[in-house]
Amino acid sequence: RRELPDGGARPNAAQFKQLVVTALRDLHGEVGAALPVDVLTYEEKTLSAILRVISSGLVKLWSALTLLGFYQNRRCAFRVLQTSPFLLALSGNSRELVL
């Protein structure tokens, strides 16, 4: 799950995917841009999304998102909230679990 704090612009789902692919292309070239990344869900209100990628590509994706600094000439940052191999695990954060 990724959270993207931003100044003003609100990308929609397609623009978000374009942003991710551009980040990969900048850091890892055509090979990185060809990495199959899926945007499973995207909420425009909170600007958060769930991305799926093959496990060998996690390092490339994470590094590319970390180093992406600008979106439409505004500063932005990607924050990775959770990563897990199972989709079900993303629905709850076990650190905030209140017993």
- The residues that touch other proteins, with contacts defined as CB under 8 A, are 24-32, 63
Please measure the distance between the N-terminal and C-terminal CA atoms of the chain and give it in whole angstroms: 24
Neighbours of 48 (CB within 10 A): 16
- Minimum CB distance to other proteins smaller for 30 or for 96: 30
Q: Identify which of residues 67 and 80 has a Cβ nearer to other proteins in the complex.
A: 67
**Smallest distance from other proteins to CB 48, Å:** 26
- Vertex 52 angle, CA 70 and 68, to 5°: 15
Please give the Cα distance from 41 to 24 (Å, whole number): 19
Residue listed under structure tokens 């500063």: 75
Nearer to other proteins, 26 or 38 (CB): 26
